[in-house]
Structure 1
């Protein structure tokens, strides 16, 4: 074992405890992984190397829980249900390190797992030690030949709920589903967008060059760049200044489809935390009226704060429940963006807790989405445009909503063919974009 790995193992003892607390919080307290990580980093003083370790371990383990649990069961001499929550979490972390983290030696994975369980459930120390050592000795277990149910096999292999696996198999062919699920285990590309209100392309390039960050300009969105190698984005001077924002290409494409222009009156009806609103304002050259609304008071306050940092002053942000019709807003807007709340099946790479959603978690969403879209359509002027978008790949929340809306609202038509974006094809989040045009003469 190299000296650097040994030092890393010792240094990461506290980091592992932080990672454990986050994973446990997400698994058993229904916390959101990104929020829990940010809280942990604000609470604990750890260096950037440890932050990287924690982030990799947290997102990695949370993204493979079903697979890890299957592996653990193969090495247990007892029923998995007999394990304490603490022991199960420590084993998931340990097994993840053994199989997926090349920077951590087998010895460190076992030793640090035993140290960690002694902190959180000392009675399970013997079990952890025995199971981890057995796994090191025998290697990972194979499983694909043992399971004939395709959905269940995919669920284990790609660590996705059986419900999602069955839905994808119903929507797509098996090979496409496998490619899609495989891409959802990969680290997503990072895109940033230049904020022309605060910076220039030359200043952005200089900032990236000074940090040795690779960037590639996007062919479709002229202010978007795919980057790699950027660390500590929150402390980047140009980011703090508002010179650029982090935003996936799919979100930018939804705004580009809306085509907001200077002087327009625009509504972003489910706007928080504000990424799409800020890009709308950018395309409007900060001229016109942009109403950004959301049901969350906290998120609206965050949006207002970031708008000031970005130099955007045309946004009128306020709290509103989009499912409740507001008669005062009737026929007010030239363009409306409905980025509806959804199951999030397209952003599983970014929020691993979504992987484990069940039918009960998502079955009411289409009704909510249709209500929001129906309300928003009434706020549009007689010749206005409306974009409906989601970050899911579930047909019930996408094309079926579109078809139902068109059937019940004859004054609307699709201005262009709806777009479906896939991680393994388009290098974006999974996303759906449909653009409607309103023409009251069409319904006559």
Structure 2
């Protein structure tokens, strides 16, 4: 049943090009199965896809393989390489699945490819260093080369390894309702992070199913993401803008840091995402958030209002969250060319909306320096009254968290 459902999800993902987590959650909500096994099969197959395809390539021998057979072969190879299932069990169940779904001919093909590929693993020894890193960690070659150029070989190896690790279950204590110490006393499954003051790690199952989450005393938020609002450090009573706010994790953190005093205007492009912000704010008791539909690239969206502090958590390539969103690694590099001008426009609008003496935090969940340090350097060069106060990059292995970039900028009088 679990393999059947996992194959359904993988085929739907491959055909529809939907987000993997959406396809997975939809399927799991419709079936009573072992969620952990299905999740492992689905995410693992996509996460290690390059390696799996490399192992299968010689045994497929250039044949055009239908979607169902292709995803079944990839899933089976994942079980062989990473779940260490008995080969006979993998072959038997895969052949049965292929026969049920696609008939005897497909079953015969799957049987031959799996038996051959399991018996003759691919030789990786002749690959170049970059090609080897690409295949063994299942990151596209362009990404390996880019990271190596920007961070050096040893740091790149650490990044690639971190991207394939299971993320820590991390939450943020909602200090509008409880202290971290009181939360841990109330539920000892939460443990204090050694890195940031509001972060806790959870040693149970799904955080969203806990009473603490339902009561709004914690919210799910990665630790590096929590550093963003702390860097802006808005004070009670301030007029604050969150330009790209959904789903509201950072917005509600801003409200907590302001002790629910002042105002936060929060914008996002889509009505359904505004609903997410409002739902989060309601659950957490963040009462100073005014969530609105609006295009942050259009300055007219904001009227003539100016702000003491602005958070611009910009759209980006997401290269810091590959452990969580495994399919992002296979996006085309041309996505960077499309997003950098949008980031630049958003920064320009943030500048126009910031009061003299005010602060802006520009942040992304990517570790690509073209979207981060270089973007900020160009912005500051174009605006001599803006200066960098603090700039930092959190790499995925630093806190076993998402990779994040953040920069605190101040608007000075010339």
Q: 1:395 maps to what in 2?
A: 369
Q: Provide the C-alpha distance between the structure 1 equivalents of 2:302 and 2:229, rounded to a whole number of angstroms.
A: 25
- Give the structure-1-normalised TM-score: 0.88
Residue 138 (structure 2) aligns with:
159
Q: Are 1:146 and 2:126 counterparts?
A: yes
Return closer, same or farther for 1:425/1:306 CA change in 2, 3 Å cut-off: closer
Q: Map residues 122-201 of structure 1 onto 2, 5 A cutoff.
A: 122=103, 123-138=105-120, 140-143=121-124, 145-148=125-128, 150-201=129-180
Q: Deviations over 1:225-263 (max 9, x none)?
A: 1233x2133322221221211111111111100001211
Aligned twin of 1:17 = 4
How far is 1:409 from its partner? Answer: 0.9
Residues 267 and 333 in structure 1, CA contact (< 8 A), matched pair in contact too: yes
Please say which of residues 50-59 and 174-183 is displaced more in the overlay: 174-183
Q: 1:335, CA displacement in angstroms?
A: 0.5
Contact 1:163 1:358 in 2 (8 A): no
- Which has the larger displacement, 200-209 or 337-346? 200-209
Q: Judge conservation of contact 1:277–1:292 (CA < 8 Å) in 2.
A: yes
Compute the displacement of 1:92 (Å): 0.5
Q: For 1:43-442, what aligned pairs fall within 5 Å after superposition?
A: 43-46=30-33, 50-76=34-60, 78-79=61-62, 81-102=63-84, 104-122=85-103, 123-138=105-120, 140-143=121-124, 145-148=125-128, 150-201=129-180, 204-206=183-185, 208-209=187-188, 213=189, 215-228=190-203, 230-326=204-300, 328-330=302-304, 332-416=306-390, 418-439=391-412, 441-442=413-414
Partner SS, residue 413 of structure 1 = strand
Matched residues in 2 for 1:199 and 1:112: separation? 50
Gaps of 5+ in 2: none
- C-alpha change, 1:199 and 1:30, in structure 2 (3 Å) is same
CA contact (8 A) 2:180 2:192 kept: no
Distance in 1, Cα, partners of 2:180 & 2:154: 41
Alpha-carbon spacing, 1:118–1:296, altered in 2? closer, same or farther (3 Å): farther
Give distance in 2, aligned partners of 1:395 and 1:270.
20
Distance in 2 separating the partners of 1:109 and 1:433: 45
SS in structure 2 of the partner of residue 196 of structure 1 = coil
Gaps of 5+ in 1: 1-13
| TM-score for both structures, normalised by structure 2 | 0.94
- Please state whether the residue corresponding to 1:272 is helix, strand or coil: coil
SS at 1:383 equivalent: strand
Q: What's the secondary structure of 1:420's corresponding residue?
A: strand
8 Å contact kept, 1:268–1:293: yes
Structure 2: distance between partners of 1:299 and 1:115: 42
Q: 1:24 to 1:151 in 2, by over 3 A?
A: farther
Note closer, same or farther for the CA distance 1:120–1:423 as it changes in structure 2 (3 Å cut): same
> RMSD over aligned Cα, in angstroms?
1.8
